[in-house]
Structure 1
Amino acid sequence: MADYTVIADRQGLQDAADALSRGTGPVAVDVERASGFRYSQRAYLIQVFRRDAGVFLIDPPAVGDLSPLQRAIGEDEWVLHAASQDLPSLRELDLMPPVIFDTELAARLLGHDRVGLGAVVETTLGITLAKEHSAADWSTRPLPQSWLEYAALDVVHLIDVRDALVAELADQDKTGLAAEEFEAVRVREPRAPREEPWRRLSGLHTVRGRRNLAVARALWTAREEYARAEDVSPGRLVPDRALVAAVLAEPASKQDLARIKEFTGRASRTQLDRWWAAIETGRATDELPPERAPGTGDSFPPPRAWADRNPAADARLKSARAAVEARAEELHMPTENLLTPDLLRRVAWAPPADGDAASIGDALAESGARRWQIAQTAQLIAQAFVDSVQEAATAPDDAS
C-alpha cells in the first residue's frame, strides 16, 4: 500500500501546484465531504491527479487559500465523476474549472448499466476498486492511511477512464451532445432554497392539525439552528422520527418530553430545554402553517390526476412519453437523460399554440432543455401531440 501524505500547509500546496502546472493533459479532481456527520457540505479532502505530476491529497480547512491550485490547473479540463455533487463544494473554495468531463454522466449517455465510479472503472479498465470508505467521516483527523489510499484511487484511474469514454462517445456519435451536458452541469446555478424546508421532515405526513404542524416547524428550526452552530448533521442530533414522535405525543411538560422513549438522539436529553422551548413556541405562535404546502405558480397536478383534470393533456403526455422512450432506446441512454420527465410534462400540460416542432422546441429551451435534446425530441413530441388528437377523434364513444 502506498504511503500518502496529506497537504496541510501553504508550502505543501505551492509545491503541489508547481508540480501540477508541469503535468500534462486533463486534471482529475475529486472531493470528500462529511455528509451525514457535518452540517455543512464543505470539502474536507480534495484529491488531484495529473499525468507527469502525480496524485496530491489536500486538506482544505488546514490550507485555507487554494488560489495556487486554481492558478495551476484553472485553464485545463477537469475530469470529475458525478460533477454536480462536487462542483458546489469546489466553488465554495473558489476552485472553478473552465471545462469539465464528467465520467458518470458520460457513462449514462453511453447507456452503461452501472454508472458508479467503481463500476465505470471496472467496465472501462478492468480494474476493481474497493469502496469500503465511501461513507466515512472525512472530517476525521488524522485520516487513516487506508482512507487516503481509497481517496487516491478515486482519481489515479480517472484520466484513463476519461480517455476510454471519449472513444466510446465518438463511436456512438455522442461527443457533441456530451459536451453540451457537461457544460450544463458546470454552469448550473444552485437550487433556490425551499420556501418551507421543514416540510421535508420524514414522517410529517402523520402529523395532523395546523397547531401540531407549527410545533413540528419550531422543532425543526431549533434543530437546524443548533446543527448549524455545532456543524453537525441534524439527524445525528435528533432524528426526524424522534421530532415527529415528540409532536404526536403532545407532552404536557418538559418532564413528559423526556419520558418519550421514541424521542432519541445524542442531543435529545442534553438539549432538552431547547426542544421544550421550541414546542412552547410552536404552541404559542399565531402564524399557523397550512395543512398542505402551498404550490408554486407554474405547478401542475401529478400525472395520475391528468385523466380527470385535463384529459387532452393526459393523452398528449402518454403519446409523447412513448415516443421519447422509444428514441432514448434507439440512442442507448436513459430516457431522463434524453429529456427529463418534468420538461415533457410541462410542454404536454401547456403546449404552445402553434404546436409545431419549432414552437415546442422553443418551449423546451425556455424550460432548460439543451440543443441536442430539442433536436432529438421536438419533432417527435409535435407528432405525438397530433397523434393524440387523432386517436381521441377516432376512439369509440363509451357512452354509445
Structure 2
Amino acid sequence: MEKLSDFPALQSAITSALVSTTRSASQLANEDLPFHRSLDSTLATSLDRQNARLLTLAERLLGTATAHTETVRPPPRLRDIEAVDGNWRAVVDVVDSLLERADTALDEFTGAVRRLSPGARETGTPERVQQTARPSRIAASLRSRDIEKPQLRFEHVPTNDEAGAFVPLLQSRPHALVAGQDSKGGHPYQAEIEQYTYPASVYTYAEPIPYHPFESTTATFVDTEESMYEMLEELKQATEIAIDLEHHDQRSYIGIVSLMQISTRDKDWIVDTLKPWRRKLQCLNEVFANPNTVKVLHGAFMDVMWLQRDLGLYLVGLFDTHYAARALGYPGGSYAYLLKRFANVDAQKQYQLADWRIRPLPQELLDYARSDTHYLLYIFDNMRNELITKSNLEKPDNEGDKIWDVLVKSSETALQQYAHPVYDTEFGQGPMGWYKLLARTPALLTKEQFSVFRAVHRWRDEVAREQDDSVHYIMPNHQIFSLAKAIPTKKADLLGIAQPASQTVRLRADELVSIIIKAKDDGVDGPEMLEVMSKIEPQFPRKPAAKEEAASHSVAAFVPQASSAAVNGNPTVTSSLPLRSMTSAFWGSAFGSSAHQDRPVSTLNDVSLTVPLPPLTAEVFADPAEMTSTPVKEVEPSSPIPTPASAEEQAPEDDVFVLKQLGKKRKRTEPIDGMAAQSDEVAIPDEESERLREKAERKKAKKEAKRAANAAATNGTNEDAAAGVGEEDEQPFDYASAPSILNPPRVSKEALKARRKKEVNPYAKSMDAPKGLPRAQKERAGRSMTYKS
C-alpha cells in the first residue's frame, strides 16, 4: 500500500474474512461430528483428511511466524489433535507475538511511532521513549534473560571482594557546609542532613498541583552525557522532584541500578544507569544535595543505599511518602495503594520483577517506570495537606506534629550508609551469612551435616563473587539443606539431589563433590550445631546443669545488647542478636522433639519476671456477671463448721429431678446462710401462679358446660350428662345402631345446616396450652435445667 487512504479498505476486507472464518469454525464446533462419523464412514475419512491438511497448514504458519523473531524455542509441532492441546500455550505465545508486531507496524505505518535510523540511535534524541522499538515478546521482559552483563563494560568493573569500609565515590561535595572536609570516615553529608531545615512549603497547606495527563505527555530518555547535563539544568529550577530506581540483582552479586526515574511538576526523565560512564551521574548532587529542593521518594531505604553504592548520589531534604502513609494510619503503605487512592490508577505490578537490563526497553516497561514518579508529587501534595490537618502544632516538643515525625524518619533513612558484604565463615553473620538461613529453619544437623552445610554455603558465596552472579542464581537455599542432609560423595548423586541444577553447578560438580567430602571428614571432629549457635546466642544454654540454671533466665535476658562491630573488616560476634531460644523463660522448653527432651522444663515457681503475677485466687476465674448480681455476705463463724459434701457427692449417679409444676409452689427447706438448700429449684412469681390457676379453672368450667350441652342434644334423657359426668365416663360406641358408611342416610339441607352449626372446631383452642417459663427466669450456676443431672 502506497497511499494511506487504501488502508481502510484493506482492513475491512481482512476483518470480513476473519469474521467469516470464525463463524464457520464455530458452526462446525457446534455440530455433533462423532455422531455423523458413526453414520457415514466416507464422512469420517473426509474429516480425517481435512484435519491433517489443516494441522499441516497451521504448523507451517507457526513456523513462518517465528522464523525472523527473537523466539528462542522452535515452533510447536502439530502432528495430531493431542499435539494441539499439549502445545496450546506455545501457539498462544506465537499469536501474541504476531499481534504485537502488527500493532507496532501499524503505529509506524500511520505515523504514531517513527522508526529510528542507526544514526539516530547513536546520537540519541530527547524523544527516545516514543521512538524505542518494542521487542516481539512482552513476556520475555518479565523474566531474566541470558544477555551480556552490562557491568562488564563499566569503567569501574565490580570486584566483589572489598573487605574494608566503603569509600564514597564522590569527587566533589556540592552544597557542603564545610568545604574540603574529608568524607572517607563516614557519611559525606551527615552534617548537612542532621542540621537541615525543611522549607516552609512543607508546612504550608496549599491546593494540590494536578499532574499532566499521562497519555498526552512523554518522558525524555537520558542515555548520553549531553542529555544528562541538559536534564541537570532543568532540575535546578525545580523546588520538588520525585525520584525512583529500578534495580537488578539476579545476574549480579551486589546488584546494579538499571534505571533511574526523575519527575518535576511538568516533565519526566528516564535515565539509563547502565552506561559505562554511569559514575559521572554524581553531578546530580547539585540537585540531590541542594537544601532548597525537596526530594520525594516512596520506600527510600534501599534506594538510598543503591544511590551511594553505584552512582555516588546522596539525598539532603528527603520526604518519604511511606512514612507519611504510616503516620496517617492508612490501611496500605505501598505505592500501588497510594496511586489508587489519590490518582485512581491501577499499578501494573506484573512488570515489577522484569529484567531492567534489556535494551532497548519495551514501551510497557518505560510506561511502568515513568508512572512511579509521574504521579508522586501530586500524591505528596495531598499527603502533606492531610498531615497538616491532622497535626496539633500547639503541643510542646513536636508531640502532635505528624509532619515532624515523617521528616525525622526520612532524615534517618537518608543517613544510612552502605557497607560491603563481608562473609563470616565461622559464625555466619552479615547479610550474606549462613546464620539467618539456619536460624529460620527448624533443622537440627549432625556434626558432619553442619560442616557440609557451612562448606557448601561458603562455596556458593565464593562462586557468586567470582562470577558476579546472585547466590540464588548459583544455587537456591533449599538445595544447600538437601546436600547437607544427604552428603553425596559422587557427581551423579549430587546432580540427582540438586534439582533443577544450575549451569554453574553442572559445570563445577566435581569441585563441589570434593568440598563436600572434605567437609564431611572435618565434621567428625568438628563442633556441634548447637554449640556454635550458643556462642552466637548466649541467652539459651546448651546443656543446663541444674534447675537453678534454667530458672535464672528472665525477661531482662532477652534485651538486645550492643550490635556487633567490624574490626579490621572482620565482624566481632557479641551478644547482640535477639535470636531464637531453645527454652522460654515463662513456658519452659520451646521444642517438643526428642532432641530437646533432656532439657528441664521450668515451672511457674521457677519463673523470674520483672512484673509480678497477681494472686491466682478463685475470684480471678469467677463470672463477673454472677459476682455482681448475687453478692454473698462474708460471715466469719465463731466455731468450725463442717464442710458439706459437694452436689456430685450428695446426689446419686442417676439422680432425677422434676421441674416445678405450674400453679404450685415448691416446698423449700430451711435456708443455710441465707441461700436455698435446693440449688436446682426454679422459682415462679406468685402473681404468675395465680393468673395461671384462674385461667385453668375458667377453662375447666367452660369444657364441662360444653360437654353437658352436647350430651343434652344427643340424648335428652341421659342423666349422666345432666349431672356433668367427665370424659372418662363416656358410653361405649354402639356399632349395631351406627349408620352405614357405604350407604349413609339422606339428610335434609335444614338438618345439615343445623349440624354444621353445632360442629366444634377441634383446633380453635389449640393455642390455650400452658405457657412456658417467663423470660425473667434465668438458669443459675450449678445444675442445668434438664431432666437428668
TM over 0.5: yes
Partners in 1 of 2:337 and 2:535 — Cα distance?
39
How much has 1:229 moved relative to structure 2? 2.5
> What corresponds to 2:529 in structure 1?
291
- Secondary structure of the 2:351 match is coil
Partners in 2 of 1:7 and 1:103 — Cα distance?
26
Partners in 2 of 1:172 and 1:218 — Cα distance?
55
Q: Over residues 65-108 of structure 1, what are the superposed CA-to-partner deviations in whole Å (9 max), with x where a residue is unaligned?
A: 21222223420221111011211001112110112111112101
Structure with the larger helix share: 1
Match of 1:178 among 388, 393, 406: 406
Counterparts of residues 162-241 of structure 1 (less than 5 Å): 162-173=380-391, 174-190=402-418, 195-196=427-428, 197-201=433-437, 205-206=442-443, 208-241=445-478
Q: Does 1:27 align with 2:263?
A: no
**RMSD value over aligned CA atoms?**
3.3
How much has 1:241 moved relative to structure 2? 1.4
Residues 261, 369 of structure 2: 8 Å contact kept: yes
Q: Does 1:59 align with 2:276?
A: no
Which stretch shows the higher mean deviation, 107-116 or 200-209? 200-209
Partners in 2 of 1:6 and 1:278 — Cα distance?
48
Partners in 1 of 2:470 and 2:435 — Cα distance?
17
Match of 1:81 among 298, 311, 314: 298
Match of 2:348 among 109, 126, 130: 130
Higher relative contact order by CA 8 Å / sep ≥ 6: 1 or 2?
A: 1
Stretches of structure 2 that go unaligned for 5 or more consecutive residues are: 1-111, 113-128, 131-218, 392-401, 541-549, 560-577, 579-584, 586-609, 619-789
Counterparts of residues 225-304 of structure 1 (less than 5 Å): 225-260=462-497, 262=499, 264-285=501-522, 288=526, 290-292=528-530, 293-294=532-533
Which stretch shows the higher mean deviation, 91-100 or 127-136? 127-136
- Secondary structure of the 2:261 match is strand
**What is the identity, as a one-letter code, of the residue corresponding to 1:124?**
F
Residues 18, 72 of structure 1: 8 Å contact kept: no
Match of 1:141 among 359, 364, 372: 359
Partners in 2 of 1:258 and 1:37 — Cα distance?
22
> What corresponds to 2:16 in structure 1?
none
For residues 257 and 130 of structure 1, do their structure 2 counterparts lie closer, same or farther at Cα, with a shift above 3 Å needed?
A: closer
**What is the identity, as a one-letter code, of the residue corresponding to 1:61?**
L
- Report the identity percentage: 23
Q: Over residues 262-284 of structure 1, what are the superposed CA-to-partner deviations in whole Å (9 max), with x where a residue is unaligned?
A: 46334331221332233134234
- When normalised by structure 1's length, the TM-score is 0.70
Q: Over residues 288-315 of structure 1, what are the superposed CA-to-partner deviations in whole Å (9 max), with x where a residue is unaligned?
A: 45413546889757xxxxx96656759x
Q: Does 1:68 align with 2:293?
A: no
- When normalised by structure 2's length, the TM-score is 0.37
**What is the identity, as a one-letter code, of the residue corresponding to 1:51?**
R
**What is the identity, as a one-letter code, of the residue corresponding to 2:466?**
A
**What is the identity, as a one-letter code, of the residue corresponding to 1:140?**
I
> What corresponds to 1:15 in structure 2?
230
Which structure has the larger Rg?
2
Partners in 2 of 1:270 and 1:14 — Cα distance?
46
Q: How many residues align?
A: 321
**What is the identity, as a one-letter code, of the residue corresponding to 1:246?**
L
Residues 242, 264 of structure 1: 8 Å contact kept: no
**What is the identity, as a one-letter code, of the residue corresponding to 1:240?**
N
Residues 27, 50 of structure 1: 8 Å contact kept: yes
Q: Over residues 6-50 of structure 1, what are the superposed CA-to-partner deviations in whole Å (9 max), with x where a residue is unaligned?
A: 42222121111122113x221111111113453223211111111
Q: Does 1:156 align with 2:369?
A: no
Stretches of structure 1 that go unaligned for 5 or more consecutive residues are: 302-306, 317-341, 343-348, 350-387
Q: Does 1:46 align with 2:271?
A: no
**What is the identity, as a one-letter code, of the residue corresponding to 2:328?**
L
For residues 175 and 239 of structure 1, do their structure 2 counterparts lie closer, same or farther at Cα, with a shift above 3 Å needed?
A: same
**What is the identity, as a one-letter code, of the residue corresponding to 2:229?**
Q
Q: Over residues 324-370 of structure 1, what are the superposed CA-to-partner deviations in whole Å (9 max), with x where a residue is unaligned?
A: xxxxxxxxxxxxxxxxxx8xxxxxx9xxxxxxxxxxxxxxxxxxxxx
Residues 451, 526 of structure 2: 8 Å contact kept: yes
Residues 79, 101 of structure 1: 8 Å contact kept: yes
- Secondary structure of the 1:167 match is helix
Q: Over residues 130-149 of structure 1, what are the superposed CA-to-partner deviations in whole Å (9 max), with x where a residue is unaligned?
A: 22211112122332221111
For residues 275 and 19 of structure 1, do their structure 2 counterparts lie closer, same or farther at Cα, with a shift above 3 Å needed?
A: same
Counterparts of residues 233-382 of structure 1 (less than 5 Å): 233-260=470-497, 262=499, 264-285=501-522, 288=526, 290-292=528-530, 293-294=532-533
**What is the identity, as a one-letter code, of the residue corresponding to 2:492?**
Q
Residues 44, 139 of structure 1: 8 Å contact kept: yes
How much has 1:124 moved relative to structure 2? 2.6
**What is the identity, as a one-letter code, of the residue corresponding to 1:180?**
V
Partners in 1 of 2:273 and 2:449 — Cα distance?
42
For residues 288 and 86 of structure 1, do their structure 2 counterparts lie closer, same or farther at Cα, with a shift above 3 Å needed?
A: farther
**What is the identity, as a one-letter code, of the residue corresponding to 1:265?**
S
Partners in 2 of 1:252 and 1:276 — Cα distance?
6
Residues 29, 80 of structure 1: 8 Å contact kept: yes
Counterparts of residues 103-122 of structure 1 (less than 5 Å): 103-122=321-340
Partners in 2 of 1:222 and 1:297 — Cα distance?
22
Partners in 2 of 1:249 and 1:263 — Cα distance?
16
How much has 1:172 moved relative to structure 2? 2.0
> What corresponds to 1:102 in structure 2?
320
